[in-house]
A and B are shown apart, each in its own frame.
Chain A
Amino acid sequence: MSTIAQSIGGEAVTTKLAMRMEDSLQAFAVRAACFIGELDVPFSEEFDGHDFGATHIIAYVGDEPAGALRVRWFQSFAMPERLAVIQRFRGHNVGALLLDRCRALAESRGCNMLYVQVLPSDLKYWEKQGWRRLVAEEGSGNPKRIIAMVKAVDPNKPLPDVEAPEAVVLHRESQLDSTGIPRGTVSN
């Protein structure tokens, strides 16, 4: 793993798990700033109904919420997603810090695999941090095509062979009870 910033501009960089409502709001605010504000993702896709079945990790620079990561838990893997770092705090590996906290949390829960879905444009970022494609090289025509990647929780224990084909794990957790917010249109 690359070196991780311990401070930015003299302010300590820390992470914590969202435990209280205010913590969750901070995570949501960071995500909204990055995904809705910067990337123009619709609200109902960003807040897709999984937020209260997930764990949020927040990164702080001093007191300021600077980054957030959502983790969902499946039987055979943990899934970090919605990784966001506020623009002015980028370039200091805050994202890597959040992912490492996620890794440590997964380890403490006896989980041995992390799984992410990434865009082709972000592939290098993830490869640099030791992730590999779940399914070996495939045709990369569509720049929006999502690529599944995995990483061992314990770097000394290589992953067992993964059987799950990409399609099985992607879009099967339906929002059965969702009525208030329109169902997202992301189809992976």
Chain B
Amino acid sequence: MVELISGRTACEPAVTIKLASTSDELLQCFALRAAVFMGEQACPYWEEFDGNDYAASHVIMYVDGEPAGCMRLRWFQSFCKFERCVVLRRYRGLGIHHAINSWCKQFARRKGFTKVYLHLQTRHMPMMEKEGFRRVDDKVFKFSDHEYYAIYCDLEADESAVDLASDPMVVNRPEDRLEVEGILEKSGQRGASNPHAPYISRLAN
């Protein structure tokens, strides 16, 4: 599940999705969110960048190498919360929100989650019903000038999800490539020289 790549024919866009894992990729997410929420929906800056950006995981989607969409994920005890989902205007109508939705669901499953929860602008309900979401209750609530439903989706438990029985070095891998050897496993080849210990005591050992 490293990257989801579609685009089998020349005229289909090549869609790539990954965890935003560098400051550049994070900046791309912030720029896309600013474009859509501040630029198109007139959301105030402090509501869009609400203090949770560095307590979250961002997922970035590229179309033909250009940042095209993103999602912010926050992790609670019993569910993963999908937030701030955007597809840039020029990439709408291609159906690529399916790609980032299913990538994020799969990502949450690998981490052991079986429930996704999100706040949906009510106008998008038909779209998200097709993605398998249902309303939590009948409440309609308002923030940032929109009306929202709380919706959720059950995920099929992933047999190979990370848990306490997982290999500790698998838990250390970059989270969107848990099946690939990570840099810390390679570091194991150096042995344990205990560089925190004073030089003399290392010599003594």
A contacts, CB < 8 Å to B: 25-26, 28-34, 36-38, 40, 42-44, 46-47, 63-65, 86-88, 180-182
Contact = CB atoms under 8 A, between A and B. Distances in A.
Contacts of B45: 26, 29-30, 64-65
A125 B67 CA distance: 32
A40 B91 CA distance: 10
A33 B34 contact: yes
B66 A182 contact: yes
Contact of A40 (B44, B66, B90): B90
Contacts of B49: 25, 29
B42 A43 contact: no
A26 B44 CA distance: 11
Given A28-B27, A64-B44, A33 B38 contact: yes
Given A32-B39, A43-B88, 13 more contacts: A25-B27, A28-B34, A29-B48, A29-B49, A32-B30, A32-B32, A36-B31, A36-B34, A43-B28, A44-B66, A44-B67, A64-B44, A87-B42
A33 B39 contact: yes
A183 B79 CA distance: 40
A11 B194 CA distance: 57
Interface in B1-50: 24, 27-28, 30-32, 34-36, 38-40, 42, 44-46, 48-49
Nearest to A86: B38
B191 interface: no
Contact of A47 (B31, B36, B46, B48): B31
Q: Which 7 A-B pairs have the closest CB atoms?
A: A37-B39, A33-B39, A37-B35, A36-B35, A33-B38, A32-B34, A29-B34
B44 A29 contact: no
B65 interface: yes
A44 B64 CA distance: 12
Which of under 10, 10 to 19, 20 to 34, or 35 or more describes the interface residues of B?
20 to 34
Contacts of B65: 182
A102 B48 CA distance: 28
A38 B46 CA distance: 19
A18 B1 CA distance: 39
Contacts of A88: 42
Nearest to B39: A37
B123 interface: no
A32 B31 contact: yes
Interface string B77-90: 00000000000111
18 contacts: A25-B27, A29-B30, A29-B31, A29-B48, A29-B49, A30-B34, A30-B38, A31-B31, A31-B34, A34-B39, A36-B35, A37-B35, A38-B40, A42-B66, A43-B31, A43-B88, A47-B27, A181-B24
Interface string B112-148: 0000000000000000000000000000000000000
Nearest to B89: A40
Contacts of A44: 66-67
A44 B88 CA distance: 13
A20 B89 CA distance: 30
A27 to B, nearest CB: 10
Interface in B90-125: 90
Contacts of A33: 34-35, 38-39
